Structure 1
């Protein structure tokens, strides 16, 4: 499958050093004003004093004085008792009555452990498995900064291809930095530009904790997820959100020849430059995707941009397949049918075939220019990108059913997928 006229979603670029902190801005919400008097304005008259009525004088009976004295004695005794009890209780509670906070140990109990499924619990389990990736190229140290996670105890790290691609072409050094700040030299085992994945090897980092892998197929829209990485070079950063959509066909890359296609998990967890290659994690602390791209508004191709709440992750199922291929053979393979489709504007009715390569599965299956593919294995296809993503969700050698419309007539064609390296 080839493509033209790509309008890519922006891959996450490397993270530049953080800039200066913004100046403090006073709050815009003001408290209600006090009722100050304004010079020159007539002020309302003061409230009238209550009327006083003279009390006629008279002789106090002799029996009143003993009663008054007795009442005064009783009130004094009760007041002393109540005051003593209140003092003791306040003093026992936190010691603030006697000597202030300086004389008191304010930490009486250790903090409660994070509940299973909480963001704090996920971060506690995943941070030791998440690393920062620094790839240098063109003699510029720290030319690209991204993220990654530990795949196994042999020191293999998963990250995005676009994090290390320039360093690989320039044969520049690559290193990873763990949560403790330890630096390790890394080598590239293999890369897949098609799936925007790469596997690194760090022989000296065999003591790092491998991440637990989950399943993106078990996710539901609205489920909580956590993104971990090094946005803007800030290592061990944790952000949280929800699964916004599943099976979102997106393309990333700066040109048609460098594009990768993702059957993505969409999330509103904050993802920024530097998060590339880091894990997207469910609330069971299992990796369900690799953060790879963000949608942008008004940004130029290749320019820097930040989170707007629309991020995309490569499903972990594809990550496992591609990583396994790279670890076994040093390269990754992706499926093709041998047809070219346009990936530009579409009316949403399907993917129209622009040309067919001879001696390919598409040619053997009788597909022709102008045919419109509307479904792949029963799943609807709306345009060229959706078709490419649907095909690449399978593996070379698999049989896949395509629903094809030609001259208004619909038929089903079953093709055995071919494979190419990429």
Structure 2
């Protein structure tokens, strides 16, 4: 007789193993789900207590509350014999109702409306305009709710510091974005706002800026203005579509005329490119120098500091090495007689390293720094000559722009501001 009872224990073991293999994944999943639930509960409980991120949010919210009431949205139209309509941003300068924006936002518009952060609409007057620095000043009636922004006057700005951009990107009013200072002393923005002949020394930031941000304030972590949005880098060419009022008048059919008018306005309002993480802002020191003059003497030309040198726009490394120097600096090609630089002892082939304790890596930066120094002020200038650094003192002269070029006022470095203004008329 065959014996089968000997296989019983083996079958029992096999059955147990199979059950275990089938049940193990389910049990493991339950353990994993239990652990995940515990992690979620712990994370949520931890987020209820104030941490670094929550503290950051609190600070950002305070910045928004501090700055937003001083930001405005601008709508501009009219301006001579050509059709023009544009929109942008601006910010309140003082309690007297002066508002700062970009020159390219308002141009010579005859109709300008300003919307305050609480929704009130004010009619604004174009008080002054300086296309060379892309700065314009508007004026509205003072009164309650006209809250000026604080300014970071004389506070240094460094690469890596956080900044916040306010404005109306794509017409979305009173928006805020965050980024850092990506670079200083940039002149590349000139090509984006048609300022090739202007004074350029821009702040570069990666804070999101789009069409409509122009004229809006850039502030630091204290909510103080450090600059004003002016341009963004993108791969769309800058363009404007215009039609003259005379052309419209020749169209006799009113309905057709209105359709064309609306079409042109729509084309003008279309955004030209978008943020690529490279935005440019006009530094506060340039703004303060120009705005104070546009407010105090709006009918007179803007006075600019003047050094009186001819510069090599883009010297090669070989040219600099031949003079025994490697690094950033401005190579002087000639020094006309009877100018501030000549009187200070600056010579051809000198390399300007800094002026007024500000580095001058390029000719554009040197030109822009000098332009905002008050005429008559004596400042230090560091140069490279004959293999070594030298420090000189130069008294800055004054110039006004005529036909796009600085026109030096002879002897202005020795005159008072009132005397300089009389000479400039």
Give the TM interval when normalised to the shorter protein: 0.5 to 0.7
Distance 2:59 2:357 in 1: 37
Judged with a 3 Å threshold, the aligned counterparts in structure 2 of structure 1 residues 305 and 397 are, in CA distance, closer, same or farther, namely: farther
Work out which of the residue numbers 257, 260, 277 in structure 1 matches 2:199.
Answer: 260
User: Secondary structure of the residue that 1:390 maps to in structure 2?
Assistant: helix
- Separation in structure 2 between the aligned mates of residue 328 and residue 141 of structure 1, nearest angstrom: 31
User: How far off its partner does 1:366 sit?
Assistant: 4.4
Give matches, 1:21-420, under 5 Å.
118-136=59-77, 137=79, 143-165=85-107, 168=108, 172-203=110-141, 207-215=145-153, 217-248=155-186, 252-253=190-191, 258-262=197-201, 264-296=202-234, 298-300=235-237, 302=239, 304-330=272-298, 331=300, 332-344=302-314, 346-347=316-317, 348-405=327-384, 411-420=390-399
Residue of structure 1 in register with 2:32 after alignment: none
- Taking structure 1 as reference, are residues 405 and 121 closer, same or farther at Cα in structure 2, changes over 3 Å only? closer
1:140 and 1:181 map into 2 onto residues whose CA distance is: 30
Higher relative contact order (CA 8 A, sep 6+): 1
Cα distance in 1 for residues equivalent to 2:362 and 2:275: 27
CA spacing shift, 1:205–1:344, aligned 2, 3 Å: farther
Between the two proteins, the alignment pairs up a number of residues equal to 307
Partner Cα distance (1:115, 1:409) in 2 = 47
- State the alpha-carbon separation in 1 of the partners of residues 365 and 152 from structure 2: 25
8 A Cα contact 1:155 1:206, kept in partner: no
Structure 1 gap ranges (5+): 1-48, 52-112
Deviation at 1:135? 2.1
1:329-349 superposed Cα distances (whole Å, 9 cap, x missing partner): 225322111223243465354
**Cα separation, partners in 2 of 1:124 and 1:306, compared to 1, 3 Å:** same
Q: Cα 1:256–1:277, aligned 2, differ >3 Å: closer, same or farther?
A: closer
| Cα distance in 1, alignment partners of residues 63 and 216 from structure 2 | 14
Change in Cα spacing, 1:410 to 1:369, as seen in structure 2 (3 Å) is same
SS at match of 1:260: coil
**Which residue in the other structure is 2:251 paired with?**
none
Where 2:210 maps in the other structure, the secondary structure is: coil
Structure 1 residue 372 displacement after superposition: 2.9
- 2:73, 2:194 → 1: CA distance? 27
SS of the residue aligned with 1:292?
strand
Work out the CA distance in 1 between the residues paired with 2:395 and 2:178: 41
Gaps of 5+ in 2: 1-13, 17-53, 241-271, 318-326, 402-425
Partner of 1:203: helix, strand, or coil?
Answer: coil
In the superposition, the TM-score normalised over structure 1's length comes to 0.63
Greater percentage in helix:
2
CA deviation vs aligned residue, 1:312-345 (integer Å, no higher than 9, x gap): 2223343233322222222532211122324346
Q: Distance in 1 between matches of 2:276 and 2:328?
A: 29
Distance 1:376 1:302 in 2: 37
CA distance in 2, matches of 1:374, 1:219: 19
Please report the RMSD computed on the Cα atoms of aligned residues, expressed in angstroms.
3.3
